[in-house]
Amino acid sequence: MTERKLRLGVAGLGRAFSLMLPTLVQDARIEIVAGADPRPEARDRFTQDFAGRAYERVADMCADPAIEAVYVSTPHQFHRENVEAAAAAAKHILCEKPMALSVDDCRSMIETARRARVALVVGHSHSFDAPVRRAREIVESGAVGDLRMMSALNYTDFIYRPRRPEELDTAQGGGVIFNQAPHQVDTLRFIGGGMVKSVRAATGVLDRARRTEGAYTAFLTFENGVGASLTYSGYAHFDSDELVDWINEGGLPKNPDNYGAARRALSQANEADELALKAASNYGGPRYGSDPRVSAKPAQRWHQNFGLLIASCEHADLRPTSKGVLIYGDQERRLEPVPVPPVPRMEVIDELYAAVTEGRAPVHDGAWGLATMEVCFAILQSAREGREIALSHQVPVPPLGTVEG
């Protein structure tokens, strides 16, 4: 049986692309046929790695009749322009998170895709992770009663990964509210039903040399009465992988003894060095090498994940983890194993592929992406104005259909 392949053009060959590359090359439903990036070394590498054309400009790639869908993985501030270029060329779209930098941008993208009658999927985010989906299915089934409360936290080294200056400028989409909150918010919205009612939050810039928000703590209420707290810090101090068996975000084992590595590497670099460091390890750069995530699968791999999350229902606490869903029920505590997809992040391609080939509406569509970004914008606004923010662009999670456990 030969599966129909989706012919994909990649807009932006940077870090998001690197992280998605294992998915794109291992999933048999995808064929990479074109790429676009302003960096000549990325284009050179691309034409070596793939039997596809490399473009300097996204708009030119979108005009390529060989592609039927565009993966928008450019820097955030270009998402709207690139999505609209793809839609104008009648290409389906997978747009990286954060969807865009304002509600207006998100709305324009949704409207443009709608008029062009192309699919718009927003992802990857960790709400695609199969254990998160399974947790939502359990909530939806009512098997453990109503969901009432959620709590989530994640502590990482995000702020000390090498950055371009714009990535440390909130106005240009820098900082953890644009880059990490979408994962946590998307996941809480997914499990909680989607309809956030209000946001109260505080944000923190804890390193004066990197002047963008690196931490936040926020309180959400949902229309269905659920209350949720979420906390994130990217300052490379406490590492919450300590709480989840030292399995990292990518579902791979982490070495607990490598404390402070990101900060240490960066502290030896000045600003020019940091740019060079980032460029070198970027796709096409001299330190990129052959990505092991592409060339070989590790012996053991677990689900991707995003820190600690506990969803409290009347008859159980649910905790999606890298191994499945931990169900702390009235009588017993058990791990409901969830099969690890053969290809990481395959769940994203499932939605994109079904949308393009069967016309099935994606869960993570433009309206979903906008709703998640509205929460993120509200985190910034609540912290800035010191007050609770009411939301108005939320959408519910569609019924997923319950799988018996």
- What is the Cα–Cα distance from 49 to 109, expressed in whole angstroms? 31
Q: Does 215 bind a copy of itself (CB under 8 A)?
A: yes
Whichever of 174 and 234 has its CB closer to a copy of itself, that residue is 234
Q: How far is the CB of 389 from a copy of itself (least distance, A)?
A: 11
Stretch that binds a copy of itself, among 91-99, 186-194, 224-232, 289-297 (CB under 8 A): 224-232
Give the one residue of 5, 148, 254, 393 binding a copy of itself; rule: CB under 8 A. 148
The nearer residue to a copy of itself, 93 or 228, going by C-beta atoms, is 228
Burial of 403 (0-12, 13-18, 19+ CB in 10 A): exposed
Query: Which DSSP state fits 69?
Result: E
Closest to a copy of itself by CB, 77 vs 141, is 141
Q: Which of 80, 189, 319, 345 touches a copy of itself (CB under 8 A)?
A: 319
Q: Any contact of residue 88 with a copy of itself (CB under 8 A)?
A: no
Q: Which is nearer to a copy of itself, 14 or 234 (CB)?
A: 234
155 binding a copy of itself? (CB under 8 A): yes
Q: Does 329 bind a copy of itself (CB under 8 A)?
A: yes
Verify binding: residue 217, a copy of itself, rule CB under 8 A. yes
251 contacts 324 by C-beta, under 8 angstroms: no
For 269, counting Cβ atoms within 10 Å of its Cβ (0-12 exposed, 13-18 middle, 19+ buried), the class is: middle
142 binds a copy of itself (CB under 8 A): no
Return the structure tokens found at 305: 């994940």
Q: Is 386 among the residues that bind a copy of itself (CB under 8 A)? A: yes
**# binding residues, a copy of itself (CB under 8 A):** 56
Q: Does 385 bind a copy of itself (CB under 8 A)?
A: no
153 binds a copy of itself (CB under 8 A): yes
Residue 197 three-state SS: strand
Amino acid identity for residue 16 in this structure: A
Per-position DSSP letters for 176-195, written without gaps between them: HHHHTHHHHHHHHHHHHTS-
Q: Which of 200, 254, 297, 393 binds a copy of itself (CB under 8 A)?
A: 200
DSSP per-residue codes, 208-273: TTS-S--EEEEEEEETTS-EEEEEEE-SSSS-GGGGTTTB-TTSSB--TT-TTHHHHHHHT--HHH
By CB under 8 A, is residue 330 in contact with a copy of itself?
yes
Q: Token pair 């997809």 is at which residue? A: 341
DSSP state, residue 292 = H
Q: How far is the C-alpha of 241 from the C-alpha of 27, rounded, in Å?
A: 28
| Six token digits for residue 324 | 């499945």
Tokens of 322: 């890298």
Q: Among 109, 218, 380, 395, which residue interacts with a copy of itself (rule: CB under 8 A)?
A: 218
68, 140, 207, 336: which one contacts a copy of itself (CB under 8 A)? 207
245 binds a copy of itself (CB under 8 A): no
Alpha helices in 77-193 (DSSP H): 79-88, 103-116, 130-141, 176-179, 181-192
Q: Does 228 bind a copy of itself (CB under 8 A)?
A: yes
Q: Which residues bind a copy of itself (CB under 8 A)?
A: 145, 148-151, 153, 155, 200-204, 206-207, 215-219, 221, 225-231, 233, 235, 237-239, 243, 259-260, 263-264, 308, 310, 312-314, 316-317, 319, 326, 328-333, 383, 386-388
